[in-house]
A and B are shown apart, each in its own frame.
Chain A
């Protein structure tokens, strides 16, 4: 590892500036759309519908934000999104940690079967089970509640289980074995040793789950009916339905929705990148 680092350092030592410039140029297509989003959200309508390319709006206006917040129950949507996201995160951690631990560190006869079936469900297109699951939730009277969005995450999201298992497998077996010899029960080992040891991994899963719930569109589209239960993603869609030509307002709405997700990402990006990296290496 160290030798590699050294060689890398040697390799680029000559041209860090050229490299930085190259990366900057390549990053423009990724950054400019975001800049344009922010710029449009703060531009007065007259500027939006002119052929001007200015990124910094002068004069900047908060009109679009005022209108979005006035004409839409944005705080209801926001509250619902926050509730769904929070409950999903809790459900994901509570549901997948024991399963991943069981699959990674415990010996039991059907482990292989259960784990490989779980991995197979990752391949299963959600559409195959979408209709029956809808019918099952309907039978349970869960339509227009948050339960259909949360319970499936609790009952084993294959990707999260896979991710956590990868981390748990990396724990030294002696660690668990010695706790076992000391008479700690398995749940206790999980809670007192494995989770604290793999806190970054658990955080990664929590973040992925939260991000997924915040951004989810299909789930709320199918299961949530009433205005009082709508999440931000769904509410934003109705914004588009009614103000299809008011781009300033639409961009303001998009910005409001994207902002929390982006901030969480920027604060905790280490965990996202770690999770993404791991899903590929051992996959």
Chain B
């Protein structure tokens, strides 16, 4: 209690301190008593324990008899069905254990599953997207079903062959098919009749389809597209049909050697056809119309804005739910006169992630899900064709005229080629189609470009297998150990110096002890990882298999063979060059505007600052809605003043400006900093200037700006660094599109690292980014020399 004796003196000191340092002591209490302080000490000690407890509570291990089952159906009727099946199964097998289901949205499934397998926390079973199976099996992320098939009593004969074979990679069965999503044509009979067409004679060939679509097209007085027939394009427009059209042209997307081939003449012809078809409507008119719903043509059909669409059985659920009175019918998709009848299907299936033993309960659950009864019930609930043939042969499907068309099409259906590249091919084809639509490339050039990308990816996946395996882990430990040794040596040396001191020894001791978290963090989370990152960037590493030493190959490929790297760099640079200056100007202007003595100022300051603390995910939703081409507020306001609507997020020209406008909404942070800086400008300078009759601009230019120039530099540098790391908006709002116009550097890096698991390549990208940001920052400081005034007045 010796401290109490000094209380008065300290309090006295503090009064002086209060007056001199108003900023720091706003709200400081001028008393502190010991019992409360002891509580604080206790609180501090408890904090660590609490953190550990909290973590323990969260990590709590699962019980042994549980089967962890991930389902990709996280909404709608399919989820309802799976929920029901899991509940039924658990009720019937209560004595054996329990199936625990987790819903992972299919958009996240690939990334989450790969991370889970790599992180050794995989589920026991997973309902997975079939076209992705080969890519995962290739990397060794899945176990094969082969040795369990007899126990399950399942074989190829039980399923549609196309579904079963999608899970076959390298001679082993990795996936047991669950459902299929064969595409057929839906037509709106009411719109057909309105256009004077007979809804019972649906178009059968490509030429007829285009002809009918022309008749179904409706434009308003201003020439705006109000209604379409069939819309053959995907990408920013929705689903892509390109593989389907290629199948119909008689192409299987593979060459005789079994490698993926997307630039065959027939593929080019199919692409050309979609392009010509889209031009019938006008590409920018399509863009505006298509954003109206949720960026997909599906919503257009439901809104009766598209009279024809190609889709799967799930459309029946959607119609029942959103447009119960819709007068529609179903027909096979038309094919070209010189082609063949074909349609396209994928679907989901059960896979076994690596690193888990198949328990009897998991076997029982798999058998249950693949039984005829459950398959049939799933088809009924979810409006999808089951993968099991005898379930699809049930009278439920064979008597209904709509379902008969679906089942009939199963004879013609094809799936994406089974290859580690099939999903990449699918996404790359969407990009290729976008490129042709926006006139960036001809169909031939776009497909050649895609083929080149796919070939390169194949090389990356296979060509380095002869390279030396390289245990980066050993090196990493060595590096970390070396780092720690260096730190210990350095600290030890200083410690000897400290021991020599008499007076300040305790202080120095506590200095080290209290800085310990930061020192550990510096070594373990900054410097160490930087070294590891550098090492990984010299490797091919996908987390699942051992790293292979590449030397500087990743960097070489980055700078010589990766157009997307340069594109993403350019996108980021363009975004930064536009967003940072406008951001600084807007925030400084706001600060100047608010730099007035008024009782309302705190209120306005809050108003302008509020958007910048708005959660970015919620903000992305909001702006996606504001930028909506059809019902978005911004376009409605533009329409009000008689301006043309702008296809904000669906046009490669407008997507960056749109994101910049969104970034301006969050300039409040910069404004606060400027506002604080403006208040340090001494008033007597302004007074002197006013006496000299200086106008506002001169005052700003010659007094304000020089005095706050260090802050301007600071804000610019911070904004540049932040803007170079732009990610979330692009990830959520545009996914990098359209035509890769918002594929920013970090988004591309993330995609490389956590979606394609090219960790080494991504690490090389990260280091390159580090160097670029460092250089830019240096440049900014260098260029601002002579412009920034560090003298204080």
Contact = CB atoms under 8 A, between A and B. Distances in A.
A185 B2 CA distance: 12
A90 B593 contact: no
Contacts of A178: 6, 9-10, 13
Interface stretch (B130-138, B651-659, B683-691): B683-691
Given A108-B508, A258-B614, A170 B23 contact: yes
8 contacts: A37-B622, A108-B508, A117-B522, A129-B530, A138-B118, A144-B121, A186-B514, A228-B102
Contact of B518 (A156, A198, A244): A156
B614 A133 contact: no
A201 B622 CA distance: 32
Interface string B658-677: 00000001001100111111
B522 A265 contact: no
A185 B525 contact: no
A266 B754 CA distance: 37
A241 B79 CA distance: 14
B724 interface: yes
Contacts of B50: 87, 90
B673 A30 contact: no
B5 A182 contact: yes
Interface in A83-129: 83, 87, 90-91, 93-96, 98-99, 101-103, 106-111, 113-114, 117-118, 121, 123-129
B615 A258 contact: yes
B567 interface: no
Contact of B607 (A30, A127, A229): A30
Interface in B259-296: 293-296
B766 A155 contact: no
A148 B751 CA distance: 20
A5 B598 CA distance: 10
B120 A138 contact: yes
Contacts, number: 458
Given A109-B494, A182-B6, A127 B766 contact: yes
A101 B596 CA distance: 36
Contact of A125 (B6, B682, B773): B773
A48 interface: yes
B768 to A, nearest CB: 10
Given A131-B753, A144-B119, A107 B766 contact: no
A261 B105 CA distance: 26
A108 B498 contact: yes
Is the contact region of chain A dominated by helix, strand, or loop, or is it mixed?
helix
A157 to B, nearest CB: 8
Contact of B115 (A161, A225, A245, A251): A225
Contact of B13 (A172, A214, A265): A172
A185 B510 contact: yes
Given A51-B636, A127-B765, A245-B294, 18 more contacts: A16-B598, A22-B593, A29-B665, A49-B303, A87-B51, A94-B48, A106-B511, A123-B773, A132-B532, A138-B118, A144-B116, A172-B13, A179-B10, A188-B37, A197-B14, A200-B26, A238-B108, A253-B621
Cβ-closest 4 pairs across A and B: A245-B294, A155-B521, A143-B119, A108-B511
Interface stretch (B52-60, B158-166, B435-443, B577-585): B52-60
A206 interface: no
A175 B299 CA distance: 68
A12 interface: yes
A8 B683 CA distance: 8
Contact of A114 (B522, B684, B686): B522
A152 B515 contact: no
Nearest to B625: A247
B683 A225 contact: no
Contacts of B121: 141, 143-144, 225
Nearest to B613: A265
B74 interface: yes
Nearest to A37: B622
A59 interface: no
B512 A108 contact: yes
A180 B530 CA distance: 39
Given A147-B55, A217-B728, A237-B617, A132 B673 contact: no
B521 to A, nearest CB: 3
B529 A102 contact: no
Given A183-B2, A193-B32, A237-B732, A269 B609 contact: yes
A148 B669 CA distance: 27
Contacts of B623: 33
B504 interface: yes
A102 B243 CA distance: 63
B611 A30 contact: yes
Interface residues of A, number: 153
Interface in B526-577: 526-530, 532-533, 536, 543
Given A132-B533, A187-B41, A125 B510 contact: no
A133 B597 contact: no
A236 interface: yes
Interface string A133-164: 10110100101111100101011100001000
A272 B597 contact: no
A131 B762 contact: yes
A192 B40 contact: yes
A23 B119 contact: no
Contacts of A71: 75
Most chain B CB atoms below 10 A, which of A30, A143, A281: A30
A266 B609 CA distance: 10
B28 A154 contact: no
Interface residues of B, number: 162
A166 to B, nearest CB: 9
B769 to A, nearest CB: 5
A121 B519 CA distance: 12
Contacts of B604: 23, 27
Given A127-B749, A145-B59, A197 B680 contact: no
A34 interface: yes
Contacts of A277: 672-673, 675-676
Contacts of A217: 616-617, 728
Given A132-B529, A258-B615, A30 B522 contact: no
A205 to B, nearest CB: 14
Nearest to A198: B24
A196 B615 contact: no
B711 interface: yes
Contacts of B790: none
B680 A281 contact: yes
A240 interface: yes
A257 to B, nearest CB: 5
B784 to A, nearest CB: 14
Contact of B526 (A111, A124, A226): A124
B396 interface: no
B701 to A, nearest CB: 18
B515 A266 contact: no
Contacts of A107: 504, 507-508, 511
Nearest to B50: A90
Contacts of A129: 525-526, 529-530, 533
A251 B526 CA distance: 38
Contacts of A228: 102
Nearest to B772: A125
A124 to B, nearest CB: 7
Interface string B16-29: 11000101111111
Contact of A179 (B3, B491, B619, B674): B3
A262 B766 contact: no
B378 to A, nearest CB: 19
A257 B618 contact: yes
Given A33-B622, A109-B494, A217-B617, A128 B596 contact: no
B704 to A, nearest CB: 13
A151 B110 CA distance: 27
Contact of A167 (B24, B102, B631): B24
Contacts of A144: 116, 119, 121
